[in-house]
Amino acid sequence: MLNTYFRVIVGTMVLLSVVLTVYVNPNWMWFTVFIGVNLIQSAFTKWCLLETILIKLGVKKTGAGCSL
């Protein structure tokens, strides 16, 4: 379940940042860069802030989380 929530939230954040980049201000692209860097970092460290937040909110850890 955690994996599903993670994918939906990250996918939504990426799409939102692209829309904001196109229609509001090009500096929103930095948000997309931050998401990508966080995904790469979590692959090496096996730690992800979003995963920690979701677990504290009560989402069951039955999936792989950030380590896709």
What's the pLDDT tens digit per position in 2-45? 889 999 999 999 999 999 999 999 999 999 999 999 999 999 99
Residue 62 located in a structural domain: no
What pLDDT, on the 0 to 100 scale, is given for residue 63? 53
pLDDT at 66 over 70: no
Give the pair of three-digit tokens for residue 19.
């829309």
CA distance 68 to 60: 16
* Residue 27: DSSP 8-state: G
pLDDT bracket for residue 67 (50, 70, 90): low
Determine the distance from the C-alpha atom of residue 53 to the mean position of all C-alpha atoms in its chain, rounded to a whole number: 11
Residue 68 located in a structural domain: no
What pLDDT, on the 0 to 100 scale, is given for residue 64? 54
- Which amino acid is residue 8, in one-letter code? V
CA distance 37 to 27: 16
Residue 47 sits in which domain range?
A: 2-56
Residue 12 located in a structural domain: yes
Work out how many domains the chain is built from and give that number: 1
